[in-house]
A = this chain, B = another copy of it.
Amino acid sequence: MSGGNQQITFLRSPRGLPVPEDFGAAEVDIPTPGAGQFLSRTIYLSLDPYYRNVMKNSQIYADRLAPGDVMVGETVAEIVESRHPEFKNGDVVAVRNGWQQYATSDGQGVRKIDPTLASVSTALGVLGMPGLTGYAGTVFLAQPLPGQTFVVSACTGPVGCTAGQVARHMGARVVGIAGSKEKCDYAVRELGFDACVDYREGDLRAQLKAACPNGIDAYFDNVGGATLEAVTLNLAMGARIVLCGMIEAYSMDTPPPGPWLGPLVGARATMKGLVVYDHMNRLPEMTRVIARWIHEGSFRWKEDISEGLDRAPEAFCRLMRGQNFGKSLVQIGAAPQS
């Protein structure tokens, strides 16, 4: 086959927030799987803030990109030609195909998806790495007790909505932080949060004080910056803060300072860094627990799906500006018949 595999490539490291011009496009041949490999066609591409760090050539991530390289990224794909003993044509898998229509894989790190649990797109969201992040950070690090106040930022995204709903299922009072009235309404009405504050309305410290009159017992931080600072000024005694993401810093060349830490001493608070890869062994448990809640109708999520690979750069830029609403995905190929 000649051509037929559209790609979005890395062109240059963004300055500050990414713009579509930081990406390129290419068309290459559809690859042929070798022995022990399979070829898959991409259905959904996941857009995640950490790609901005990869584009920075940060030493934090193993991936490195040179100009012209296809952008890395998690995808859900359908196997179309398997020469691998453990995968067969028609299998739907979570695989790192990157920003392209087709890729081969030797099966390493590839996970088969059960399409009966929920839409296969959830393998990139609440039933994938973002969901595991929210689940493990809440269950094993933040550990809200019944009746305690649990706060989560970026609360309508896949990490935040999972963290908040897990905390709700653990008996906590859940307060979200989001960036619009629409998102806050969704968090309360659909996700079952007890309250949600819109940081764009200003004076987040006072808003949190009103929403959390007994202080914040546990905070799942997806954003850092001024939001984290406002939380530190509302801590309850013995509070736990889980540091998960610092989205605003991903677009900075020099990391910003953190909040004044004095309030952590007064509150005898604990702050912990969360890296989801430490909790990979919990993936089956998380899938079982959340799939049951989905089946019962007590766990929801939202997806923000752009159509077509060529829309991926703009969708990613929207995500980094906080203008997405729900898990940011790009649909690249048709979903399989279920």
Residues in A lying within 8 Å of B, measured CB to CB: 60, 224, 228, 243-244, 246, 249, 255-262, 264-275, 278
Contact = CB atoms under 8 A, between A and B. Distances in A.
Contact of A260 (B257, B260, B268, B269): B257
Contacts of A268: 272-275, 278
29 contacts: A60-B266, A224-B261, A228-B261, A243-B264, A243-B265, A244-B265, A246-B261, A246-B262, A246-B265, A249-B260, A255-B260, A255-B262, A256-B260, A257-B258, A257-B259, A257-B260, A258-B258, A258-B260, A261-B271, A264-B271, A264-B272, A264-B273, A265-B273, A266-B275, A268-B272, A269-B273, A270-B272, A270-B273, A271-B271
Contacts of A266: 60, 273, 275
Contact of A271 (B224, B270, B278): B270
Contacts of A243: 261, 264-265
- Copies of this chain in its oligomeric complex: 2
A255 B229 CA distance: 12
A264 B258 CA distance: 11
Contact of A272 (B244, B249, B262, B269): B269
A173 B337 CA distance: 61
Contacts of A259: 257-258
A269 to B, nearest CB: 5
A-B interface, 8 closest residue pairs, ranked by CB to CB distance from nearest: A257-B257, A265-B273, A255-B260, A258-B258, A271-B271, A264-B273, A258-B261, A270-B272
A60 B265 CA distance: 10
Given A224-B261, A243-B264, A268-B275, 19 more contacts: A228-B261, A243-B261, A243-B265, A244-B265, A246-B261, A255-B260, A256-B260, A257-B257, A258-B260, A261-B271, A261-B273, A264-B272, A266-B275, A267-B273, A268-B273, A268-B274, A269-B272, A269-B273, A271-B272
B271 A275 contact: no
A219 to B, nearest CB: 13
Contacts of A271: 261, 264, 270-272
Contacts of A244: 265
Contacts of A256: 260
